[in-house]
Amino acid sequence: MNDRFEILDCCALYGRPAVPPGRPYLAPDEALAEMDRLGIAGRWFADYRALEHSPALGNRLLGEELSGHQRLRPVWVVLPPEARELPPPDDLPAALARAGVGMVRAEPKRHGYSLGEWCSGPLWAALERCRVPVLLDAGAEWDALEAMLSAHPELPVLLTESGYRALRMLYPLLARHANLHVETSMFLANEGLSELAGRFGAGRMVFGTGAPALAPEAALGTLRLSGLSGPDMAAVAGGNLRRLLAESSGRLKEMAR
């Protein structure tokens, strides 16, 4: 498919899950073949082994397996510091930079921790200093999410799993917090992309597919049929992600020196 803009998928998963959804990506060539078929220029992957087993081991294996494939970028799964499974907050940005990681993924409900400052505050603060985007499944903990966004206003948060039922909570948060963005794979509200762009600006959305748990064709169809203007569609499809990653890249490189 030929588009006049770059399509970047910020939200995909790599490897073999315990219960395979759809067709998992078990090798880089499999992921690249699908990306070529769908016209996706780049994809950011977290690893099922990091989500379902050991974040430390899964993050490392993901980096090794995607190494050398510039269109396939690793996303580390992160944990609060007292878990002591990953580098401590002061060392985390440098570790991300050395591993070529520009974005992280957090799933507190899955991994049994709180978004709150008492548990995860040092993690959010370390990522905020370098403006590292966080793909976050907040698990509908809206009050905790509001407190996190308030405490860390320079931390780019890309909210996943936000469907049409979340709008009454999501829209007030978007109005209050400029650092909150919507990852689009589950944002399937009727004319939702165009409405959100009209109310808050297209810069608040980042394209993701949720593949392979979700069919990537669904996210692509929603984007292409959204009614967004050409510039807004280009921003959502890939421009916003490029901008967010560029803002963090220089800060991470400084930390790695």
Domains and CATH numbers, the chain: 8-256 (3.20.20.140)
| Helix H or strand E segment including 192 | helix 192-200
Beta strand extents in the chain (DSSP E only): 8-14, 42-47, 72-74, 76-77, 104-106, 134-136, 157-159, 180-183, 205-206
Q: Give which of 179, 116, 117, 115 is closest to 153, Cα–Cα.
A: 179
Each residue's pLDDT tens digit, 37-83: 999 999 999 999 999 999 999 999 999 999 999 999 999 999 999 98
Q: Is the Cβ–Cβ distance between 238 and 207 less than 8 Å?
A: yes
| pTM, entire model | 0.95
Confidence of residue 3 (pLDDT cuts 50, 70, 90): low
Contact criterion met (CB below 8 Å) for 138 and 144: yes
What SS3 state is found at 23? coil
Provide the percentage of residues in the chain whose pLDDT is more than 90. 88
Q: Is the pLDDT of residue 255 over 60?
A: yes
Residue 144 identity (one-letter amino acid): A
Residue with tokens 């591993």: 99
Residues 89-102 pLDDT 10s: 999 999 999 999 99
The burial of 122, by beta-carbon neighbours within 10 Å (0-12 exposed, 13-18 middle, 19 or more buried), is given as middle
Residues 208/187, Cβ–Cβ less than 8 Å: no
Q: Are 96 and 76 in contact (CB under 8 A)?
A: yes
Task: Give the pLDDT mean for 175-204.
Answer: 95
pLDDT mean across residues, the chain = 95
